[in-house]
Amino acid sequence: MLAILFWVAIVGSCLAVEIHTNAFIAVFIGFGAAISFVLSLTGLPFIFQAFAWLGISTLSLLFLRPFAIRKFHRRPYEINMSLPTHTAMSDMRGYVELSVGDANHPGRVKIQGESWKAVTDWPAELPDGTAVIVRKAYGTTLWVDPV
């Protein structure tokens, strides 16, 4: 009975620690303790349960943790501006309101009466009044080319 309480305490502690951190370490130690809890219900000796806990925890940390980190630690808010895409704005036409340059020198374009932040891959800066066409976008930034 004491072993059962021990494993329940370990699992609970690991869950509490994992809630306060997102290192994905305590969850795998708790996983090993949960398996040992099941083994304690079968009446196996505590020393066997303890070795099973250490082995399962170690193996899950080595083999499952990398997959968990890749799956749950993605940063969707990080913007990769080198991968703009075609959107509903693609192929729309407008004109330059404020000179448009590269990503370090954005400008503004007016398309269908709305002003948008814009950049260009064109080698030269596009001056005010230039007719442009939208080629791709990322968020609210448009990539434009002269018509």
Domains of the chain: 2-72 (no CATH), 93-146 (2.40.50.140)
Q: For the chain, 147 residues long, give each residue's pLDDT as a single digit of tens.
A: 899 999 999 999 999 998 888 778 999 999 999 999 999 999 999 999 999 999 999 999 999 988 888 877 665 555 555 566 778 888 999 999 999 999 889 999 999 999 999 999 888 899 999 999 999 888 889 999 999
**How far is residue 91's CA from residue 101's CA, in Å, rounded to a whole number?**
19
Question: How far is Cα of residue 4 from the mean position of the Cα atoms in its chain?
Answer: 38
Burial class (CB in 10 A: 0-12, 13-18, 19+), 26: buried
pTM value is: 0.50
